[in-house]
Amino acid sequence: MLSLLKKHNIDATKGPILSQFILFALPIAIGGIIQSLFNSADMIVLGNFASSVHVASVGATGVIVGLLVQSCIGLSGGAQVVLSQAFGEGTPERIRKASNTTLWISIIIGLIVTAVAIPLSPALLTATNCPAECFDDAVIYLKIYFASTPAILIYNYGGAIIRSSGDSQRPLYYLIASGALNVVLNFILCFFIPNKVMAVAIATFASQVLGAVLVVLRLIRTDESCKLVFKEFLPDKKMCGSILFLGIPCALNTSLYNISNLQIQSAINSYGSAATAGHASSSNIENFVNCFNGAIGTAVLTFIGQNYGAKKPDRIRGTVIRGLALALLVGGVLGNMCVMLGPYALKLFLPDDPSAVDFGMIRLTFLMSIYAVPMAGSVFGNVLNSFGYSSITMANSIITVLGLRLVWMSVVYPNVSTFNNLFLCYQVSWSLSCLVNLIFFLMIYPKKIKKIRLQLSEKTEIAESNFNTT
């Protein structure tokens, strides 16, 4: 175990699966936790240096940022699959083309989002029924945040390249550095800039740029096949098609959650700034557990991708079993810990607003008590994605997330218009989504394993035949 900790690159096709899986996923989870801590620092600073209204101003932007930025980050799922399979095959030329194309995609999409989203910020906030007392500051925060979108995507897509090579530690180091800058600048700028929301937005912008710079420098200096050489930095059309074919369903899958949340966010905002602040603060607490969800999902995607490329069915099976067990354990334990410790954690964000704390606890109780369910669904979904069936997970989300939540908000919620009923919707949609992913997993997984074993058997027969002939 100690020897593995010293390694930056983990070969998912060799060695003990569980320890390798944990050592790969843990830096990703820690990185997510650190990023959540730094993001929470924005809210905590605002809650203590300003007021819960300023917390609500940033919180009101969450679903919009998720829709436009996190959906674009979801596209990197396609790059992760292509890169993992390329590293599993060990083909340097394919790795280089996939890496270069991935970075090109991140730059182009980042610039497009920035150009489109900044002028649309006021309209987007109006569409989500942003409370009037939060509106002006929320516009400022959104515009500054969207200006950093190219840097955000370069960090995430570049990080996908580095992680696909088996190195999940260095992206963590870069995240620590950029997050530390964010916290330091939060306090410094809040002393010098009267508008506290603008201060934390500028700090966030600076930290995102630093993260992107560190990732690019690593790709320039690495000795791996994914090394960034500017004179060879050209996209490959075929590789671009593969990444987009697999990535667009992943991005749409992410966006569907956020599209469905727009109507829910609008209903939350209608309860006033206390509800918006409580909802945003509880979301920050949820993000800490979701970091493990993302880490386990990325590990499943990478390990199965590499072993699928290397034609190792037993290691694919081992990855599925261990990934699912960890998801159920972590989701069940940490989710319910959030519910128990929620009142104390929420007071860090909202020290002077007990009403906002009450709203936050409603959200935490409904979502975190069953968090093992969406984590298990994520494992099944990432197995399907790694086999190239991301369109199935997208279709699942269209029906069980977007469709159900829209129906819920149009039919169920108007008849029982309570704050609790808003979050019961999450429990129902998560459960159905997990069930559908499980059904397709049980249909597709055995066929894929059987196909790999058949290919291996044919390869062995050909080798034996050639040997006998010789």
- 217 against 61, higher pLDDT: 217
Q: pLDDT tens for residues 327-384? A: 999 999 999 999 999 999 888 888 878 898 999 999 999 999 999 999 999 999 999 9
Q: pLDDT tens for residues 267-302? A: 888 888 888 888 888 988 888 888 899 889 888 988
Q: Which domain holds residue 161?
A: 2-469
pLDDT value of position 262:
76
When pLDDT is cut at 50, 70 and 90, the band that residue 465 belongs to is low
pLDDT value of position 5:
35
Which of 15-19, 90-94, 116-120 holds the top average pLDDT? 116-120
Residue type, 212: A
CA distance 424 to 437: 20
- 214 against 269, higher pLDDT: 214
- Of the candidate ranges 4-13, 142-151, 398-407, 419-428, the one whose mean pLDDT is the lowest: 4-13
CB 359 within 8 A of CB 278: yes
Section 221-240 average pLDDT = 77
- 240 against 111, higher pLDDT: 111
CB 280 within 8 A of CB 62: yes
Q: How many domains does the chain have?
A: 1
pLDDT value of position 3:
39
Q: Which of 374, 327, 288 is nearest to 36 (CA)?
A: 288
When pLDDT is cut at 50, 70 and 90, the band that residue 44 belongs to is confident
What are the DSSP calls for 105-158, one per residue? HHHHHHHHHHHHHHHHHHHHHHHTT--GGGHHHHHHHHHHHHHTHHHHHHHHHH
Contacts (Cβ under 8 Å, ≥6 apart) of 363: 278, 279, 282, 283, 286, 423
CB 333 within 8 A of CB 251: no
pLDDT value of position 64:
81
pLDDT value of position 6:
40
Is pLDDT at 231 greater than 60 in this prediction?
yes
When pLDDT is cut at 50, 70 and 90, the band that residue 1 belongs to is very low
Q: What is the 3-state secondary structure (H, E, C) of 393-449?
A: HHHHHHHHHHHHHHHHHHHHHHHCCCHHHHHHHHHHHHHHHHHHHHHHHHHHHHHHH
What is the distance, to the nearest Å, from the Cα of residue 125 to the centroid of all Cα atoms in its chain?
23
Q: pLDDT tens for residues 154-212? A: 988 888 888 777 776 788 788 888 888 988 898 888 888 888 889 888 998 999 999 99
Section 108-115 average pLDDT = 91
Q: What is the mean pLDDT of the chain?
A: 83
H helix intervals, 270-312: 273-309
Is pLDDT at 4 greater than 60 in this prediction?
no
pLDDT value of position 362:
94
When pLDDT is cut at 50, 70 and 90, the band that residue 463 belongs to is low
- Please state, in angstroms and as integers, the Cα–Cα distance from residue 39 to each residue in 43, 165, 361, following that order: 7, 28, 20
Section 4-18 average pLDDT = 65
- 334 against 235, higher pLDDT: 334
Give the number of other Cβ atoms within 10 Å of residue 92's Cβ. Answer: 14
Q: Which of 283, 286, 318 is nearest to 299 (CA)?
A: 318
The two tokens of residue 32 are: 């997510």
Q: pLDDT tens for residues 239-268? A: 888 778 877 777 776 676 677 777 788 888
pLDDT value of position 2:
33
Give the percent of the chain with pLDDT over 90.
23
